[in-house]
A and B are shown apart, each in its own frame.
Chain A
Amino acid sequence: MIDTALSSSGTQVVLAASSDENYPPENIIDGNTEMFWISTGMFPQEFILRFSNTVKITLITIHCYNVKNLKIEKSTSNDATDFQNIAEKEFEHTDGHLQTNDFSLNGTSATHLRFIITSGYDHFVSVHKVTVEGVN
């Protein structure tokens, strides 16, 4: 098992619906929770990760703050089209620490993952780290 959601393993953020240049979406895949991406108002918000190869995913973990409803979609195409829903969850509100949530999957393959935040516990939500376990 390897963490494939790392910029060091070739993963990229190819789209984010909003951004403050001091908190760019690349912070999601830098491997630590210290640096983060923050949305800059209104819902929904989304970002898309692109892997360097097709990945068979077993587990997705997301560290975030103030996220209420999250949907995850995947694409198996090379050009980020035909997204299909693979997971959906309402997160619990946390105060004073990050939200950490897991999504177990049974080896579903993907080239892209799309994270759609449809609502939040605040106007602004932050995503600190996403890890994706799987095999290439």
Chain B
Amino acid sequence: MIHLPVIPAAKDRDFQLPENPPTEDYHEILDELERDGEIIVQRVPEPYIEVKTKFGRIKKIPVEKTWHHKSCGQCGHIPGYSTSIFWLNRQLGLDYMDPKDQTSCTAWNYYASATSNPEAQAAVAIRNFATAYETGYYPLIHCGTSFGHYKEVRQALIHYPELRDKVRKIMAKLGKKLVIPEEIVHYSEWVYAMRDRIKERQVVDMSQITATVHPACHYHKLIEEDAIYTPEIYGAQRTAIITGVLQELGINVADYSTWFDCCGFGFRHILVSRDFSRSFSVQRKIEVMMEEANPDITVTHDTGCVTTLDQSQFAAKAHGKKVGLPVLSDSQIAALAMGAHPYKVLQMHWHNTDNTRFLAKLGLDPDEKWREFEASVARLQDGSKQYLTWEDVE
């Protein structure tokens, strides 16, 4: 008789991050390339917070002196997303830069249309990195796709000397150096690393809230190496970002069976073939979340995910689908917990799915908050002010 080992149930297993990571260490390769005079490595400025990534390596997350690499989808269509990231920095008294000499990573277009190539994509990335380096501020990437794509660019640059040569020549024409940051850092990693400081300043009780989490594919699947994992969250079997923040804020994070699935964004699909995006996001994500977890909110950390999960629900409602789940980013939830205004800072009126019940459950009066926002806007309309500033919302 063969005795097979008895494997404990997943919930009882003590999963350890591997002592010997199965992949090469990009830090070592970057250091080597720098020693050889091939590249400049921009170091994470102090103070930084150390976290662990998928294969147990240490990643440094900068606390401040961050150069905010904005997201075109966030800034263009859900601007409370980026505004909340800046608001958190300001409230925590941290030094940051919101640059005008930044371009989009152009990866949304690349993944949608392929009307580009590795040289162009790497040059766009390095132009942004070199620009950040010149200021002394460290790139903090707002978009999950920019984050994923820049990891791809880093991988290509460290493996293909001919690509480095081409990009170096292009940068020389622009008067810039070939700079690669020591770590490619996504803003949600910064929110995760800062979660205890955010908790210290929490003024809105969130303990009655149940949330589901959707992690962005380009964060944890595309070059999985850099994503944050910890045994305390999902036993290090899934990435810890978003969930770690929500739990710190007292939110009940509920699980659902399609956690690993994509949101349905599809890059070209969301723009020119939206029947796919709508169907996938509603049938594989929103409906499953509602049926299995009945959450008050779903929280994600990327441009495309917020857009697809939120906007797709309108048409699905007409088809009698079980929808009506508000969608916010972790930066918006963190800001809300610290007392940010739902319309002046979170800009929730740019979101589609009704979120007034969620606000009411937090003890916030959505009508009153909207009146406050409209009063501010009236000052812009009557010409007494041209813009609202941070002083108007802090």
- Do the two shown chains form a genuine complex with each other? no
B interface residues with partner A (beta carbon < 8 Å): none
A interface residues with partner B (beta carbon < 8 Å): none
